[in-house]
Amino acid sequence: MNSKVTLSVFKADVGGLVGHGSVHPDMLKEAKKTLEEQKAGLLMDFFVTHVGDDINLVLTHQEGVDNEKIHKLAWDTFLKCTEVAKELKMYGAGQDLLTDAFSGNIKGMGPGMAEMEFDERVSEPVIIFMADKTEPGAWNLPLYKMFADPFNTIGLVIDPNMHDGFVFEILDLIEDKYINFSCPEEIYDLLVFLGASNRYVVKSIFRKSGDIAAVSSTQKMNLMAGRYIGKDDPVLIVRCQSGLPAVGEVLEPFANPHLVAGWMRGSHYGPILPVSQKEAVPTRFDGPPRVIAMGFQLANGMLVGPQDLFADVAFDRAREKALKIADYMRQMGPFEPHRLSLDEMEYTTMPLVMEKIKDRFE
């Protein structure tokens, strides 16, 4: 039998209460019930939560990544939740399930996912970040800080097990191509791409020995109605401690809220608000974008926890700062750079308006 553990996180928006703000407790109940019924012989453990209107399924098992049985279970679970959402007439019920039939792998079918397989260490602390009202590029800046910035992660300087640095695997969302950068040697090259977070995103991070350290739910953008859509409220798995960034080093980037794309109608920049799970219900201008951090210790595949890491009062000031930034940015209304540039917006009336007034241009 495979001695490795696989940690798989799946997320989908299959209906919101109210609007795009949250999910109904019955949907979460249904997810737990389905996973409990199907668990035997397949899962080691599972955990269900939500951030905003996205349901997150955290599964541990020994089937490896991209496993059909696991992906089908996640898909079926989201289908069950959709049935509940439809009964309750939740908003946008089933919106992230883009096809009718499961085709072997959940990739490209609507839901997001991040998976990693590893040998469980003597002690295995992991953090699962889950965000709503933003896109995968939201992880670029914090991941750079965690794994490449000594002003954030002192371990890079003073821990002999981290001093070699890490390898970043970057995905070009448009061309669907991958490239690795070795840090610290190549940080200037890396930053050329990481800084363009609407196109280049971190897929995974490895130790130089090859051990996996972090994986995001980043996927190639879907081309729909002639436009790329990629603002899939993202998840991120980070392993911590013993030669990897400490839990506090992994959380530290969120103490200073950075600007991310998303928010109202997926068409605005705003600060990312680190919140407890209870506060993961975006309402103001459908936001601001927010992130939760669930910490677990794995014990032979069991998810011991979670610890709701952003519930710490030490993040209160980050929240205050984010809210001040939100006030400031909202004053700009429909103007860039609060509003995204034309080619990045999820919604636009430009073709419509242009058609109407085209003869008036001289």
Which positions lie near ligand F6R, rule CB under 6 A? 19-20, 92, 133, 262, 264-266, 286
Active-site residue among 11, 145, 203, 231? 231
- Rounded CA separation 112/90 (Å): 20
Candidate ranges 12-20, 181-189, 247-255, 327-335; the one touching Mg ion (CB under 5 A):
12-20
What does 54 bind: Mg ion, ligand F6R, none (CB cut-off 5 to 8 Å by kind)?
Answer: Mg ion
Q: Does 20 bind Mg ion (CB under 5 A)?
A: yes
CA dist 236 and 202 (Å) reads 10
Residue of minimal CB distance from ligand F6R? 286
Identify the active-site residue in 66, 228, 312, 321. Answer: 228
* Chain residues 110-149 in contact with Mg ion, contact rule CB under 5 A: 132
Annotated catalytic residue: which of 13, 54, 149, 308? 13
Provide, rounded to whole angstroms, the least separation between the CB of residue 280 and ligand F6R.
Answer: 14
- The encoded tokens of residue 95 equal 């919106």
Considering the complex, what minimum distance in angstroms separates the CB of residue 219 from ligand F6R? 17
The minimum distance between CB 286 and ligand F6R, in angstroms, equals 3
DSSP bridge partners of 239 = 126
Separation of alpha carbons 309 and 304, rounded Å:
14
User: With binding defined as CB under 5 A, does residue 45 bind Mg ion?
Assistant: no
Residue 54 or 117: the one with the smaller Cβ distance to ligand F6R is 54
Q: Is residue 231 among the annotated active site residues? A: yes
**Residue 133 is among the residues annotated as catalytic for this protein:** no
Give the pairing of strands 5-12 and 200-207: unpaired
Distance separating alpha carbons of residues 91 and 119, to the nearest angstrom: 41
As a whole number of angstroms, the distance between CA 262 and CA 231 comes to 7
We find the least distance from the C-beta atom of residue 96 to ligand F6R, in angstroms, to be 11
CB 211 within 8 A of CB 238: no
Residue type at 326 in one-letter notation: A
The minimum distance between CB 287 and ligand F6R, in angstroms, equals 7
Give the one entry of ligand F6R, Mg ion, none that residue 295 binds, where binding means its C-beta sits below a cut-off of 5 to 8 angstroms depending on kind. none
Rounded CA gap, 93 and 171, in Å?
30
Strand-pairing partners, residue 331, are none
Q: How far is the CB of 231 from ligand F6R (least distance, A)?
A: 6
Give the residue from 158, 229, 170, 236 showing the smallest Cα distance to 197: 170
Q: Which does 265 bind (CB under 5 to 8 A by kind): ligand F6R, Mg ion, none?
A: ligand F6R
| Residue 286, binding choice from ligand F6R, Mg ion, none, Cβ under 5 to 8 Å by partner class | ligand F6R
14 binds, among Mg ion, ligand F6R, none (CB under 5 to 8 A by kind): none
Concatenated DSSP letters for 37-80?
HH-TTTEEEEEEEEETTEEEEEEEESS-TT-HHHHHHHHHHHHH
The residues with which 172 forms a beta bridge, in sequence order, are: 177, 200
- Residue from 30, 45, 53, 124 touching Mg ion (CB under 5 A): that is 53
In terms of CB distance, is 18 or 302 closer to ligand F6R? 18
Decide whether 117 or 132 has the Cβ nearer to Mg ion.
132
Residue 171 has which token pair?
A: 């995905």
Looking at the Cβ atoms of 91 and 118, the one nearer to ligand F6R is 91
State the binding partner of 232 from Mg ion, ligand F6R, none, CB within 5 to 8 A by kind. Answer: none
Q: Is the peptide bond before 337 cis (omega within 30 degrees of 0)?
A: yes
**Is residue 54 near Mg ion by the rule CB under 5 A?**
yes
DSSP β-ladder status, 290-299 and 259-262:
unpaired
The closest alpha carbon to 61, from 298, 305, 312, 322, belongs to 298
Q: Do residues 113 and 220 touch, judged by C-beta distance below 8 A?
A: no
Residues that bind Mg ion (CB under 5 A): 13, 20, 52-54, 132, 233
| Residues labelled catalytic | 13, 228, 231
